[in-house]
């Protein structure tokens, strides 16, 4: 099987991608790294594997088709800021590479890559990876991640009856070749290569922005330091410019709008139910919610507070589609979702597909009788049979066996 591994735009995944590729080769497959960034090129060179690198060098352009069920093109152009001509060049190069190397399977980290559209156009199967909803786990799926996963349309019973998605891995040989990360100095050296890697520059800009955010975080007003004494509804905020919010929460565009809907539903259902908001850690110092906080003085507003404790003491959790909803469901709490999620199929999760459904969903959630056995069965299946055991920063031979097992399964089924 000829496998293309596409590059992720941060150096942190270099060791993971190299190790996955090395183990695919160890098990008889051919691996090609499509247009990797300088970080990964240098990492591969250190480990003597640079001959598998496929650089996108031509200036040929190809119009990127607008795929009905894909947000990739729109996100890259309108949010990431990729220029139209650069997107068309990447697309053309990707199409050429798929054909030149007779690729059978493409592996992506999340879905935001123009190569996703190229693979669809050439009818080449793909596998998508992303962080899982449980600690130190990974999602791996042939349709997408989160609510775009092939599991999203499954029923509760179908989920609970699933065996290991990677099948029997007994004959798969895996070795953890390398786990060391590039030092900040090595990363800087990669950035200074000529010609300068445009993605390295973008990463540098992001790193500078992170430093500024860290400085601003020290200056923001701290959150409350105690939880309400009585029953409360927990509202975990999400990052507004995340694809989960932008494309998978159909009628909510901002956290202000989200909170307004929740407050309105609470006022209708139970005015005595307190509300606790927790800002997303990545947004503190980056997005200013202070005016929203001032406008809602009765709300407990948390920033740096243990989320497990907030979930444990909540009467109900309301989210758009955050992984916090999955964690709350796993903690045997009723959950209301206002967006599309992977876990809407659980009986203790109450989805509100429109604004008029938020109040009824909250009513049903507060009245729900949670079945601990149904929670345990569902979560256990995700932990043992659906999510890969391990993360891109903490993986072992079992992690690799499960990843390779799933890749080989998708390849066999597509052949």
- CATH number reported for the structural domain that contains residue 363 in this entry: 3.40.50.2000
pLDDT at 315 over 90: yes
pLDDT at 218 over 60: no
60 belongs to a structural domain: yes
pLDDT at 191 over 90: no
Cα distances from 110 to residues 12, 33, 53, 265, 358, in angstroms, run: 15, 16, 21, 33, 29
Please give the average per-residue pLDDT across 175-204, as a whole number: 62
Please give the average per-residue pLDDT across 316-336, as a whole number: 97
Question: Residue 38's pLDDT is what?
Answer: 76
Question: Residue 194's pLDDT is what?
Answer: 47
268 belongs to a structural domain: yes
Identify any residues that bridge with 407 across adjacent strands, giving them in sequence order. Answer: none
In the structure, what pLDDT confidence band is assigned to residue 176 with cuts at 50, 70 and 90?
Answer: very high
Question: Residue 285's pLDDT is what?
Answer: 61
Please give the average per-residue pLDDT across 208-215, as a whole number: 58
Per-residue pLDDT tens digits for 265-298: 999 999 999 999 999 887 766 677 888 999 999 9
Please give the average per-residue pLDDT across 155-166, as a whole number: 97
| 355, 410: one domain | no
Per-residue pLDDT tens digits for 46-64: 777 777 899 888 788 999 9
Range of the domain at 159: 2-180+390-414
| 126, 71: one domain | yes
Burial class (CB in 10 A: 0-12, 13-18, 19+), 78: exposed
Per-residue pLDDT tens digits for 102-142: 999 999 998 889 999 999 999 999 999 999 999 999 999 99
227 belongs to a structural domain: no
- What tokens appear for 216 in the block? 């601003």
| 57, 142: one domain | yes
Please give the average per-residue pLDDT across 7-13, as a whole number: 70
| 9, 151: one domain | yes
| 398, 295: one domain | no
pLDDT at 252 over 60: yes
| 120, 155: one domain | yes
Of the listed ranges 50-54, 83-87, 94-98, 232-236, the one predicted with least confidence: 50-54
In the structure, what pLDDT confidence band is assigned to residue 223 with cuts at 50, 70 and 90?
Answer: confident
Of the listed ranges 284-288, 304-308, 362-366, the one predicted with least confidence: 284-288
In the structure, what pLDDT confidence band is assigned to residue 190 with cuts at 50, 70 and 90?
Answer: low
Please give the average per-residue pLDDT across 164-172, as a whole number: 96
| 25, 148: one domain | yes
223 belongs to a structural domain: no
Cβ atoms 105, 3 nearer than 8 A: yes
Question: Residue 198's pLDDT is what?
Answer: 56
Count of structural domains within the chain: 2
d(CA 304, CA 286) in angstroms, rounded, equals 15
Q: Which residues of 119-148 are buried (b: 16+ CB within 10 A; e: fewer)?
A: bbbeebbbbbbbbbbbebbbbbbbebbbbb
pLDDT at 186 over 80: no
Please give the average per-residue pLDDT across 174-188, as a whole number: 71
**pTM of the predicted structure, to 2 decimals:** 0.88
Question: Residue 83's pLDDT is what?
Answer: 86
| 295, 335: one domain | yes
211 belongs to a structural domain: no
Q: Strand pairing of 349-351 and 335-337?
A: parallel
pLDDT at 238 over 90: yes
| 345, 403: one domain | no
Question: Residue 221's pLDDT is what?
Answer: 67
Considering the chain, what percentage of its residues have pLDDT values greater than 90?
66
Please give the average per-residue pLDDT across 368-395, as a whole number: 96
pLDDT at 180 over 70: no
Q: How does DSSP assign 91-112, residue by residue?
A: HHHHHHHHHHTT-SEEEEESS-
| 151, 292: one domain | no
| 154, 12: one domain | yes
Question: Residue 413's pLDDT is what?
Answer: 95
187 belongs to a structural domain: no
Output the average pLDDT for the chain.
Answer: 88
């Amino acid at each position: 099987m000829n496998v293309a591994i596409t590059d992720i735009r941060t150096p942190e995944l270099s060791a993971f991608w190299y190790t996955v590729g090395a183990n695919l080769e160890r098990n008889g497959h051919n691996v090609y790294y499509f247009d990797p960034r300088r970080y990964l090129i240098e990492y591969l060179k250190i480990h003597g594997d640079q001959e598998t690198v496929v650089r996108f060098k031509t200036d040929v352009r190809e119009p990127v088709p607008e795929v009905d069920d894909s947000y990739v093109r729109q996100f890259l152009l309108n949010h990431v800021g990729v220029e139209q001509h650069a997107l068309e060049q990447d697309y053309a190069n990707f199409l050429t590479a798929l054909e030149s190397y007779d690729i059978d399977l493409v592996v992506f980290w999340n879905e935001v890559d123009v190569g996703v559209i190229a693979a669809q156009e050439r009818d080449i199967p793909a596998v998508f990876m992303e962080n899982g909803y449980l600690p130190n786990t990974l999602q791996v799926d042939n349709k997408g991640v989160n609510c775009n996963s092939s599991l999203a349309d499954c029923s509760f019973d179908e989920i609970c009856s699933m065996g290991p998605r990677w099948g029997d891995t007994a004959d798969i040989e895996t070795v953890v070749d390398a786990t060391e990360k590039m030092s900040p100095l090595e990363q800087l050296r990669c950035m200074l290569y000529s010609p300068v890697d445009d993605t390295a520059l973008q990463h540098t800009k992001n790193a500078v922005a992170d430093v500024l955010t860290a400085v601003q975080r020290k200056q923001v007003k701290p959150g409350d330091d105690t939880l309400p004494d009585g029953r409360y509804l927990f509202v975990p905020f999400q990052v507004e410019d995340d694809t989960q919010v932008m494309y998978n929460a159909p009628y909510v565009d901002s956290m202000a709008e989200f909170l307004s809907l929740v407050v309105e539903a609470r006022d209708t259902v139970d005015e005595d139910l307190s509300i606790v908001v927790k800002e997303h850690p990545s947004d503190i110092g980056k997005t200013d919610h202070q005016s929203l906080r001032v406008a809602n003085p009765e709300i407990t507003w948390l920033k740096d507070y243990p989320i497990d404790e907030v979930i444990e003491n909540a009467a109900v959790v309301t989210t758009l589609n955050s992984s916090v909803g999955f964690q709350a469901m796993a903690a045997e709490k009723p959950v209301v979702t206002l967006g599309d999620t992977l876990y809407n199929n659980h009986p203790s999760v109450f989805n509100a597909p429109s604004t008029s459904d938020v109040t009824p969903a909250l009513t049903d959630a507060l009245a729900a009788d949670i079945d601990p056995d149904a929670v345990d069965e569902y979560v256990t299946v995700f932990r043992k049979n659906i999510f890969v055991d391990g993360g891109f920063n903490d993986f072992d031979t079992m992690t690799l066996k499960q990843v390779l097992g799933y890749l080989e399964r998708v390849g066999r089924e597509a052949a």
